[in-house]
A and B are shown apart, each in its own frame.
Chain A
Amino acid sequence: MAKQWTPQEQMLLRMTSEFTANEIAPLDLQIDHAGRYPDGLFEQVVATGFLSVMLPHEFGGAGFGPEVTAEVVRRVAEGNASMAATLEGHYKTVYQMLKYGTPALQAKYFPTAGQRIFGFGMTEPTGGSNPMSIRTTAVRQGSDWVLNGNKIMITNGGLAEVYCVLAKTGPQELSVFVVDQDMPGFAFGKRENFIGLRGTPVGEIFMNDVRVSDDYLLGKVGQGGEIGDSAHDDARILMGAVLTGIMDHALGLATSYAKERKAGSTPIGELGSIQRKLADIAMGRETTRLLYQNAAALHAAGQPYSEEATMAKAYGSRTAVAACDDALQVFGGYGYSRDYPLAHLIADARALEIAEGTVEKMRAAIAAAELAK
């Protein structure tokens, strides 16, 4: 059964929908075509407090739980999936710093976590799905760690100012460190030119002898693999929400069009072939919603949620690609035009069959979890 929102949560969600409808949704096509957020939009998202939705009160945040945070992401995604993915990248990183960060690390970075974006860097040119294949190293020098390497395909790479990065601290040992753009030896690389989620910057960072103390170690030495998995789990819930929002968007467009577009004198929404597509989109949207909300509820209840989160993204991503393809078909020739959002919705959804673990790897993880039962 769906969670009953408290009055505070209802107010937050209503505000999110109003903000999305007024400020973000009208710019959806512009964001896709320009491949960036228009000047001022991201600043307005920050000023309205969206980065601090799930940040605890003691750090100046609003302290909302995982379920309402995911619902915020879904509602933003209904207006523009890129901005929802930007929030997802920030939230998943802050979640790891909440879960594994020392009080000193939290005290250093959380007071600004509501004003600037945090990102998580795992993938490298040599590999993403197999963390042990990374080449970034953190080597002990005296009481410090010296980091060298580069990370690619970071959600919000370039926009984010603070990064959690996975590094090898031994041949078979992974650890996570927090670095920021102001540290000597830190540099930004190129931005990816992706076919979807074109507003979300996805970029590269370089670390050339970046020196940090133990205070910048997230969790313990050797805990990197666990933290990486945890970041994936939190991201996958939020990506389920992004995918649900994409399907909300596609369904809204397709139903409106089916009511007004006529074949002869009959609105196409009265045709069985169109109704079947609308029903499939609606069912896909609902099943994805139930999957991510279930995972978020388990997270909120302090129970394991890894497998459920993985299901939300693995199932939701292919389902959303198919749903947006169906919506495009309802629009006919107009759907194939870049002057309508359907083409970018398919490309947006398609990104999430790859990001935060490919669907192939996720199916393997789900199967492994089932086989272990």
Chain B
Amino acid sequence: MKIVVCIKQVPESNNVKFDPVTHNLMRGGMSGRINPFDKNAIEAALRLRDAVGGEVALLSMGPDSTAEILRDGLAMGADSAYLLSSRAFAGADTLSTGYVLAQAVRQIGNVDLTLLGRQAVDADTGQVGPIMAVNLNQPQATYATQLTANGNQLTVVRDLDSLTQTVELPLPAVITVRAEANTPRYETPLHIQQSFEKQVTIWRDTDLDLDPEKLGQKGSPTVVRKVYAPEAKTRAQTALPSEPAAAVDQLLVIMQQHGLI
């Protein structure tokens, strides 16, 4: 099975800054790490590969320094890595990013499965996976916690918080993976050494079959009007006594007052 895992570089710290004009995240000079959910996607890919054979390729879009996180993924045991790096991609929103990543998956060729983390922890949209599926014209499943390959079928358990759904998809498909799916492995000393012997293939915009109208800010209809921290709302609270019998008595009174019993 040929699996591509899309990974994103996110800021090391939660203390991020936004551009006062574009309201986009300012990434310059910030140390980066693999988006934590993407490590779950890599782990899911490695387990599928170990179970049914095949290869795992990593794919990311960003400045050349993004090669560092691809190296981290290779040190977990992935087989190859592709970096999409071009000024033409700068300022891309999820629509443009999903389009470019999908075109790269086409170019890699014969990809059976594309995996992503459920969302990136910096922007929290969770949109790129579904956008890729539309661009690739492939079935998709989001919020996966279990993936089982049966020949050309994939059985996916989706955790939608209030319900769990099991779906079967024909391959090729696009899946986004939740943190609950697995515990990502550590890089091993041997894989760390080997990761520096593997080449990260860098593709510029001219290396891919792309519509220039769909790239960068030009291809990004999203406009960030304002970025703000939501106001913390507190509701009326009543503290019950710590002694259980007294707590039950008081709770019954409160429930009666509200007409609940």
**Chain A residues in contact with chain B, CB under 8 A?**
7-8, 11-12, 15, 18-19, 48-50, 52-53, 57, 60-64, 114
Q: Which of B104-112, B184-192, B231-239 contacts A (4 or more CB under 8 A)?
A: B184-192
Shortest Cβ distance from A68 into B: residue: B189
- With most chain A CB atoms within 10 A of its CB, the pick from B72, B186, B191, B196 is B186
CB-defined contacts of B190 to chain A, threshold 8 Å: 49, 52, 60-62, 114
A48 to B185, CA, bound (A): 8
Specify which of B75, B189, B191 is in contact with A53 (CB 8 Å cutoff): B189
A50 to B185, CA, bound (A): 14
CB-defined contacts of B186 to chain A, threshold 8 Å: 15, 18-19, 48
Distance from A208 Cβ to chain B, minimum over Cβ atoms (Å): 38
CB-defined contacts of A61 to chain B, threshold 8 Å: 189-190
Specify which of A11, A18, A19, A50 is in contact with B192 (CB 8 Å cutoff): A11
Specify which of A8, A18, A52, A57 is in contact with B196 (CB 8 Å cutoff): A8
A-B contact pairs, 28 of them (CB 8 A): A7-B71, A7-B196, A8-B192, A8-B193, A8-B196, A11-B71, A11-B187, A11-B192, A12-B187, A12-B189, A12-B192, A15-B187, A15-B192, A19-B186, A48-B186, A48-B188, A49-B191, A52-B189, A53-B189, A60-B190, A61-B189, A62-B188, A62-B192, A62-B193, A63-B193, A64-B189, A64-B193, A114-B190
Distance from A343 Cβ to chain B, minimum over Cβ atoms (Å): 31
6 smallest CB-CB distances across A and B, nearest first, come from A62-B189, A49-B188, A49-B189, A62-B190, A15-B187, A53-B189
Shortest Cβ distance from A13 into B: residue: B192
Distance from A74 Cβ to chain B, minimum over Cβ atoms (Å): 16
Shortest Cβ distance from A63 into B: residue: B193
Shortest Cβ distance from B183 into A: residue: A22
Distance from A48 Cβ to chain B, minimum over Cβ atoms (Å): 5
A23 to B163, CA, bound (A): 32
CB-defined contacts of A19 to chain B, threshold 8 Å: 186
Contact pattern, B 164-189, Cβ under 8 Å of A = 1, otherwise 0 = 00000000000000000000011111
CB-defined contacts of A11 to chain B, threshold 8 Å: 71-72, 75, 187, 192, 195
CB-defined contacts of A18 to chain B, threshold 8 Å: 186
A239 to B16, CA, bound (A): 41
Contact pattern, B 12-30, Cβ under 8 Å of A = 1, otherwise 0 = 0000000000000000000
CB-defined contacts of B196 to chain A, threshold 8 Å: 7-8
Q: Are B193 and A57 in contact (CB under 8 A)?
A: yes
Contact pattern, B 190-223, Cβ under 8 Å of A = 1, otherwise 0 = 1111011000000000000000000000000000
Shortest Cβ distance from B193 into A: residue: A62
CB-defined contacts of A64 to chain B, threshold 8 Å: 189, 193
A57 to B196, CA, bound (A): 14
A63 to B188, CA, bound (A): 12
Task: Given contacts A48-B186, A49-B191, A52-B189, list 12 more A-B pairs with CB under 8 A.
Answer: A8-B192, A8-B193, A11-B75, A12-B192, A15-B192, A49-B188, A49-B190, A50-B189, A57-B193, A61-B189, A61-B190, A114-B190
- With most chain B CB atoms within 10 A of its CB, the pick from A15, A50, A63 is A15
Distance from A14 Cβ to chain B, minimum over Cβ atoms (Å): 9
CB-defined contacts of B71 to chain A, threshold 8 Å: 7, 11
CB-defined contacts of A15 to chain B, threshold 8 Å: 75, 186-187, 192
